[in-house]
Amino acid sequence: MMMNTQLLHSLPAEQARCRELVRKYVAIGSAGAFGAALIEQSLKRADRAVIDGDENDIRCALDELKGYESEQRPALRLAA
């Protein structure tokens, strides 16, 4: 059975984006350690899915990685 080629192209791009996110979280210091650890665990699951070759697991890993935001949002403003 042939694996979805879009999936095969999307996952490495998403992994690279998330690895860059990990670098940014690590650069924050201890405040970013928890976020970095979560993303690293997701990256390990994605690697395992690729090694196992299970398309459903790869799709789940891709969706999980897409859940990590990399764009900056405006700071929350608290009411005075």
Per-residue model confidence as pLDDT tens digits over 15-36: 999 999 999 999 999 999 999 9
This model's pTM is above 0.85 = no
Mean pLDDT of 67-80: 73
Per residue in 34-57, pLDDT tens? Answer: 999 999 999 999 999 999 989 999
Q: How many domains does the chain have?
A: 1
Give pLDDT, residue 77. Answer: 73
23 within a domain of the structure (yes/no): yes
Query: Could you tell me if residue 8 is inside a domain?
Result: no
Distance set, CA 61 to CA 52, 64, 70 (Å): 12, 5, 17
Q: Is residue 27 part of a domain?
A: yes
Answer yes or no: is 10 within a domain. Answer: no
Residue 67 gets which letter from DSSP?
T
Domain assignment of residue 47, yes or no: yes
Is residue 3, in this structure, part of any structural domain at all?
Answer: no
What's the pLDDT band for 75 if we cut at 50, 70, 90?
low
Whether 41 is covered by a domain: the verdict is yes
Structural domain contains residue 72: no
Q: What whole-number distance in Å separates Cα of residue 26 and Cα of residue 64? A: 20
Domain that includes residue 53, residue range = 17-66
